[in-house]
Structure 1
Amino acid sequence: MPLLFTVVTAILLTACAGADSDSAVGGTTPSARPTTTSNSSPAQSPIRPSSPTASPTPSTAAQITEAVTHWYQYGGETAMVSLIEEAVKAETGRPNQNEDFDLVILNFSGLEGALSTAQLFGSIPDPKTQRTWSEAIDRLEEGAREVQASAPEGRTFQSPTEAGQALRGWSTFDEGLKSLQKTQARFDRAFGLKPPSDPWREQ
């Protein structure tokens, strides 16, 4: 049995050798055509950085409340209270309508600073509150400017024209005070936000 295994193996080896020999005699095998490998990679379009996505405008009631609360707690309350207090102080320069002659001292320096601070803040993320807040700033600034322009230069008494200008200025100032009151009421009623003490109390 081992002899048979050896013979069979030899025959297989001989057959393989013969096949190799026939292949060599049959002719020259044509050499394979060399292939050219391109080193250049396909052109790639440049990658453009994605533009930053703007923060979405709050739309739901919960989002608006959260955004308004953030505005109020991070400086908005201080700006509003300061504007109220300085507007109340500026009113001490309003003449007494029951007196024919009333000596008053106009001092809007504190109000001007409070207005400048209020204007630095971005819009309140609630259209109704922002509208009254913006109106308050505009009317107070316009009214104070007109009252100051009515003050006589080098004289103690106002002319009738200057007195009329002062009345118009104070009327515009009153519109600003009303808008400021609406703003504070809106914060309290709609969002539960209010100062710890009454800023309208005369200082």
Structure 2
Amino acid sequence: MSEKLVLSSGKCFLHEVLCRREEKEYRQNRANLRRGADTTTEVYAFPYVYPQLPQEATTQERLVLMRVAALAAEFGNIPAVGSDTPAKSLGRWAYEVSRQRMLDRQQQVAFNPKKLDVVGERLAYLHTQDFEEAVRAVSRLMSIASSLSNVPAFDYIALYSLFSYWGNGISEKSQRVRMRVLQDYYGSFGSLIE
């Protein structure tokens, strides 16, 4: 099975979810997609997700699409990056959430590696988590972001790609993919360090 075909099909489906998630007629679909966030209720999302990928797609490929579609359906108040916007990594988005939290709390926007904010604390061990734990951690970050006055746009397609290559955390490739989140997060603070 072509990995590129699976990714392409999944991205098309996510675009549809993102475009239609606020439509009144899509309400039932959205509710069932949201149930795809958990193993105990994911069966409700099967009819919406499984037909979107080629028949030969692996269980893990279907699971990744189901979990990311559930996040897109759940967090309708978190805007998606536009098609004319460059891709935004999870780490970069997390930085934007940290920054906005500081602004909302009227704090100086600064970075202190000895005292991470709640976003930094959630990301600190993301690279050690298996796929399901990582999805839950991202969901918690999205919950934090939902409460902000100016929610940064989120790249659901980039998250889908990230989780598609999340792997087991043991292989060198998997470790690189996972560490990229932290590298992008900390690297985004570079302009704040004197």
Q: TM-score, normalised by structure 1?
A: 0.27
Highest RCO, 1 vs 2 (Cα 8 Å, sep ≥ 6): 2
Q: TM-score, normalised by structure 2?
A: 0.28
Higher Rg = 1
- 1 or 2, which has the higher helix percentage? 2
